[in-house]
Structure 1
């Protein structure tokens, strides 16, 4: 049983090889992302394993089906890059990892928030240059602030709990309200109210056709002056052109993004010797109140272990004609 593993990085190989000893799956690792340019290399495989920036379009799926591929395994929670209708039409099962260490992403969102607020990244560089001045490092207390959370699935729930621990007032929006969070003190309000009331807004929802560019000039206009916005979910939730305008107008006081709508051309690569032609990411990184990390939020030992174990377990079950233990892993 062979599986082609796309967008492979050295750490992927370490964790998948570690947990692949008893599955009987032969893994062929490819550095490149899956797309029309490379799908022809897939031969004699029952499965392909893909990540967030692989392009699993209807055309790619049709070619995979013609080659006998039966399983598309996403080693991530999001699935906006896969044409699920095409997969269903071709009889290909699609699985994902819906709940790998949600604390990993939630804690990274908090780390970005604290870094932006208390400017620890700037202080670190100053002190290394023997500059011990505090000028320009003024922050604000998180305690007592209103924090808005859009999306209270497992990651959003973990983030809410951390913010409650800081003494924040937490308001949230989700299609499905979480009873446990309500008992802890989280108040569910409309999405518009989250935008209007919050000092800090953190996005923890999947990217869908309905919420593409959720953060745009109209929703930004609803927000408080100087709002802090954190996005560790999907880049397409934020209209980059509109957020740049909001930063220039001081509407957004701080922006932390671990995802970017054009990240497939940038993230997970060393471009330190290249000329980056993406003017928008260059403009974003020029703001002193913007923090960009390269889709790093999931990157912990615990999360990578769970991703490998769940992905391999789901594939092994599907190969045997069985459903995975956690049906939430199945999309088609």
Structure 2
């Protein structure tokens, strides 16, 4: 460990006021020195780190080899992700520079699963439009027609903790639930979920909900070819990672009325937009502007995780991971330790 680094200090990047609130609240039991920066971690902002052993990052921080090399030169030994996804971290570079990488593998699967269902219900029953309409004293029902979820086929891609939680919710609505993953889950099969191929998911689902990680196999899993397989008027929901969807293909699918509804809580270029107030700015991203112009598209800004329970778990697990790595260079929960 660098003589300049303080093992007790954690530097946070991409922080919002709620991050500081929750991490400060639960730090009493750990006693770390915390420093918060609103800015994203990248090769230009590494310079902000002074005498810290740990950096804590979020989904849109850039943790590539160039950044990791700079972190190592700064004496940083631990990269702590306060999220489950880790596609923004070069794990091979972390190994090369003998840096530990940990994450929060399961903070509140219910938070994300419930948000996915909320998006389905909003798109279907158009409650967001009804709310605005009634506030303007327009009590007409024209244009608000929805459909019964009961009996519809929902296809789930990815059956980890979040996919499993979402499946239980969908079953509770009386839906027929299909699922795809690299291996079938016997517990879910006992609940009534049928594991099928991706092709069957695409061809037979009324609603497709994405709950898989982003990797080489899943990047742009929703593309022109897979959209062509889908039912006309299909609903697509993504609360996982933006790059699971090829944006231009989805836009074309919406224009051609093949895609009837789209709900996204994540977006491939979201690091330039999400978690910021851009209400007075001209957004230069034509794709997101186009998506938001469709009446059958619902966009939320990476909000699915955002519950009191989830933020509590994120803070507690992140602190526990760091404490364990500092004490014995290991974590009991192997899913939390990436390198």
Q: TM-score, normalised by structure 1?
A: 0.99
1:209 aligns with 2:250: no
Residue of structure 1 equivalent to 2:284: 277
1:30 aligns with 2:16: no
In structure 1, C-alpha distance between the alignment counterparts of 2:285 and 2:54, rounded to whole Å: 34
Note the C-alpha offset of 1:322: 4.3
Residue of structure 1 equivalent to 2:17: 10
Match for residue 140 of structure 2 among 129, 133, 142: 133
1:143 aligns with 2:150: yes
Moved over 4 A (4+): none
5 Å-filtered alignment, 1:250-261, equals: 250-261=257-268
In structure 2, C-alpha distance between the alignment counterparts of 1:59 and 1:16, rounded to whole Å: 28
Match for residue 186 of structure 1 among 169, 193, 198: 193
In structure 1, C-alpha distance between the alignment counterparts of 2:255 and 2:168, rounded to whole Å: 32
Structure 2, gaps ≥5 residues long: 1-7
In structure 2, C-alpha distance between the alignment counterparts of 1:213 and 1:186, rounded to whole Å: 25
Bigger Cα displacement from structure 2, 23-32 vs 195-204? 23-32
Note the C-alpha offset of 1:66: 1.3
Match for residue 256 of structure 2 among 249, 260, 269: 249
SS of alignment partner, residue 29 of structure 2: coil
> RMSD between aligned alpha carbons?
0.7
1:188-243 Cα shifts (integer Å, max 9, x gaps): 00111101110000000000022111100001001000000000000000011010
1:67-112 Cα shifts (integer Å, max 9, x gaps): 1111000000000000000001111000001101100000000000
In structure 2, C-alpha distance between the alignment counterparts of 1:26 and 1:316, rounded to whole Å: 12
Match for residue 297 of structure 1 among 301, 304, 307: 304
SS of alignment partner, residue 47 of structure 1: strand
Residue of structure 2 equivalent to 1:177: 184
Residue of structure 2 equivalent to 1:327: 334
